Amino acid sequence: MPETEKNADPNAARITLAQRVWSRYLSNRRRIGTVAAVIFALFLAWHVVNGRNGLTSWQQKRAEDKVLAQEIDQLAAENARLSHHVDRLKSDPGAIEHEARERLHYARPNEIVYALTAPSGPQKVAPATP
């Protein structure tokens, strides 16, 4: 009979092994749950900081928003300045004359305009002859 018990032992050992694993799981399930909760919390914290819309991304977007707000203010000031300039050109004859003289190089009748050219490179000075 001892030989038949030995043949039955592997099946019994498997059952007891499964039972031991199950009993260890049941006795350690609180620890397993705690470890799983800690791992999940760490993943969630990492995702909050580095995720698609995390703190890092939020700070970059906030800095970009400040830069764009400054640019909008500058463009609004330039737009107001240009709008004022257009209004002056529509109504002020002096401003119209000034623009015509500056940009188009117009002159009044009987007025002489001298065009000076900038020297191009070093020039040789000829010696004075007596």
Phi then psi dihedrals of residue 129, to 5 deg: -105, 130
Ranges of the chain with pLDDT below 70: 1-14, 121-130
At 121 the pLDDT is: 66
Share of the chain above pLDDT 90, in %: 36
Report pLDDT for 87: 94
Distance in angstroms (rounded) separating the CA atoms of residues 11 and 4: 12
| pLDDT value for 1 | 47
Q: Using CA atoms, how far apart are residues 5 and 3, in angstroms rounded to an integer?
A: 5
Query: Could you report the per-residue pLDDT of 66-92, keeping only the tens digit for each?
Result: 999 999 999 999 999 999 999 999 999
Domain ranges of the chain: 1-50, 53-106
Distance CA 80, CA 40 (A): 55
What pLDDT shows up at residue 25? 86
Model pTM above 0.85: no
